[in-house]
Chain A
Amino acid sequence: MFMFEKAVVGSRRYWAWVFALLAVIGAGFVSYLYQLNVGLGVTGLSRDITWGFYIAQFTFFVGVAASAVMVVLPYYLHDYKAFGKLTILGEFLAISAVTMCMLFIFVDMGQPTRVLNVLLHPTPNSMMFWDMVSLSGYLFLNALISLVALSAERKAVAPPKWIKPFILLSIPWAVSIHTVTAFLYNGLPGRSFWLTAILAPRFLASAFAAGPALLILLCMIVRKVSSFDPGDEAIRKLSVIVTYAMLVNVFFVLMEVFTVFYSGIPEHVHHFQFLFAGLHGEAYLVPWMWTSMALAAAAIVLLVVPKLRNNLRILPVTCVMVFVSLWIDKGLGLIIGGFTPTPLGEVTRYTPTLPELLIVAAIWAIGFLMITVFYKIALAIREGMGYEIAH
């Protein structure tokens, strides 16, 4: 396919990485066949906790996908030149993350062969319908934009003018994907944990912290393994974005905590009790949630103090802390916490099973593989402008 020839030439290290990812994908694929055969009963899910790891990962990665807007917006709306080299990396991250989201939804379906019923019987009153629309639209926009940008770069010409409206459209579209994802949850009358208008803003804030944190880490890896350098200025600017987003996210969480505990409405309080103190003797998420909190607090210190933030040796550690903290919050707490206690006040334990974890790992590996291949292509084009001429 187009420009894919660049992905099949690489060093020994490159191929070792690719095959390691393929092995993880293979293990997950076998696990999925097992799940397909037996049913979703092979997961740790239950009548009480009907969504778990798959849907939580989906939610988290919608955020990662949306965060591409944090490089696209400053570059295109504010003409912030330092992000010029980064936009393509952001868009590739978005494409990979959206693909992961779609896969996470797909593996969660009880009847995957019927999934096209969503198109056959379009239902605008279902938020899931809008989620499908917004995610596929976002995938299309980012695929189109990066393809056009990359082929222009290969020909060493400026991207065509007609692509600009698509780029501008991708900005509100990025906001929409995570907003609609929040609407999946916060329009449900019986689930008090999610029934809060701050959910969508919170999703966006945590996404704009976790996504750019991941992008910083990717930039640093790219810098190590190739001659391409996004530049210190771009990385530092991204870290400022992470700082603000993380602060806003924590602020939003505190808003929620105040509302829940000062009002004292039991259905709202119970979910927080379950997550942070344990409920009816079940406290299996408590260590996770406090780890998330501690990491968030430490990361904020490392981000807010300019000296620590600007130290590019500390910054990757800070970014890992931000990412892990928000992954626990959204990837564990949000979904399990929303289902516990159940509408009947029961607390049921949910532990993902091995097949479930292997399937999740495989989808992560697919995401990494996509990123690797895409970045490889982009870097090959940039590194080897001479390559094209020489042949």
Chain B
Amino acid sequence: MSTDRRTFLGVAGLGALAIAGKASVDALASGAETGKPKAGTRWAMVIDPLKCLKEEGCKACTDACHKVHNVPLLANKKHEVKWIWKEPYERAFAAETEYTQEALKEKPVLVFCNHCDNPPCVRVCPTQATWKREDGVVMMDWHRCIGCRYCVAACPYGSRSFNWVDPRPSLAEVTPEYPTRTKGVVEKCTFCEERLAEGKLPACVEACEEKAILFGNLHDEASPVRARLKDSFTIRRKPELGTEPEIYYVVGGKPDVHV
């Protein structure tokens, strides 16, 4: 019977190797890439929470986004769909604030899809209904999504919403240029890819009077995001997870240098 046992061990070992192998090859490959000069576009955002706080209770960005993207306003909080919204600072960053970071203690901070460089949601999707574009935008195909919600479980930022019920009756007004969704699919911020295609800025960036949201190409030294990143101290949400989020939050530096 020893041959059988050997076969068994062999088969089990091979299976494990095949799965682990792919992941480690990917890890090595991405490590090798870091030395290359960066070309093309990599969209990113810089959020300035202190500027954002200037007008208390302002929801201009959320309203603009949810209107142009036909995001429903559902009465039941459990069924909520949201693309961009505010969370208390310590929730957004799992930060300790008893004596540190008092400026932002319990203050609302904008959160939305981080358009990660290494997005776990894309990794887990069984139908490639969510994928990362060359320019870094993490996209959604609402016609391919089977509604398994694996991406919702995988997102470490709680950025994805599922349509628990038909969203259409909950839309006060439909923006005809943008699709509405059906029940049973996942949705989230797409960096306004439809506006980027027309050379426009994302709706939230345009709507913010305080210019608390900057948008631009990370690979372009002259872009507003790079300029802001250069002279400010910024943090990202949960960088330790290796997802490489591309939304930066200004928490120090020279807040008024740029418009």
Contacts and interface: CB of A to CB of B under 8 A. Distances in A.
B120 A47 contact: no
B124 interface: yes
Nearest to B148: A109
A129 interface: yes
B79 A114 contact: no
Contacts of A40: 147, 162, 164, 183-184
A71 to B, nearest CB: 16
B128 A343 contact: no
A39 interface: yes
Interface stretch (B28-36, B48-56, B236-244): B236-244
Nearest to A171: B8
A127 B124 contact: yes
Interface string A107-133: 011111011011011011111111010
A46 B79 contact: yes
Contact of B120 (A46, A121, A189): A189
Contact of B156 (A109, A121, A185, A189): A189
Given A77-B4, A110-B185, A128 B148 contact: yes
B241 A189 contact: yes
Contacts of A79: 1
A168 B4 contact: yes
A346 B146 contact: no
B126 A128 contact: yes
B127 A121 contact: yes
B173 to A, nearest CB: 22
A169 interface: yes
A45 B77 CA distance: 11
B94 interface: yes
Contact of A172 (B15, B91, B127, B145): B15
A349 to B, nearest CB: 9
B1 A77 contact: yes
Interface string B141-161: 000111111101111111001
A176 interface: yes
Contacts of A344: 87, 91-92, 111, 157-158
A308 interface: no
Contacts of B39: none
A183 B157 CA distance: 20
A86 to B, nearest CB: 19
Contact of A50 (B81, B146, B149, B241): B149
B78 A110 contact: no
Interface in A94-117: 105, 108-112, 114-115, 117
Given A41-B79, A79-B1, A127-B124, A190 B183 contact: no
Given A172-B12, A343-B156, A344-B87, A111 B120 contact: no
Contacts of B15: 172, 176
A171 B94 CA distance: 44
A109 B146 contact: yes
Nearest to A134: B15
A171 B120 CA distance: 32
Interface string B162-176: 111110000000000
A40 B5 CA distance: 46
Interface string A197-224: 0000000000000000000000000000
Contacts of A124: 22
A188 interface: yes
B219 to A, nearest CB: 25
B200 interface: no
A38 B165 contact: yes
A78 B1 contact: yes
Interface string A44-64: 011110110000000000000
Q: Which of B153, B166, B241 has the most A CB atoms < 10 Å from its CB?
A: B153
Interface string A64-85: 0000000000001111000000
A79 B2 CA distance: 12
A110 B162 contact: yes
B161 to A, nearest CB: 6
A47 B92 contact: no
Interface in B1-58: 1, 4-5, 7-8, 11-12, 15, 19, 22
A126 B150 contact: yes
B129 interface: yes
B155 A190 contact: yes
A342 interface: yes
Nearest to B120: A189
A378 interface: no
B123 interface: yes
B220 interface: no
Interface string A173-205: 001100000011101111100000000000000
A249 B199 CA distance: 57
Given A40-B184, A111-B185, A342-B158, A190 B125 contact: no
A188 B19 contact: no
A151 interface: no
* A112, A127, A339, A346 interface centre (most CB from chain B within 10 Å): A127
The 8 A-B residue pairs with the shortest CB-CB distance in the complex, in nearest-first order: A110-B147, A190-B156, A110-B184, A46-B78, A41-B164, A39-B183, A41-B165, A128-B126
12 contacts: A40-B147, A47-B164, A110-B162, A110-B163, A110-B185, A121-B144, A123-B126, A128-B150, A130-B19, A132-B126, A343-B157, A344-B87
Given A48-B78, A190-B157, 20 more contacts: A41-B164, A77-B1, A108-B148, A111-B145, A111-B182, A114-B147, A117-B146, A120-B127, A126-B124, A126-B126, A130-B19, A132-B126, A172-B15, A189-B156, A339-B153, A342-B158, A343-B157, A343-B158, A345-B91, A345-B94
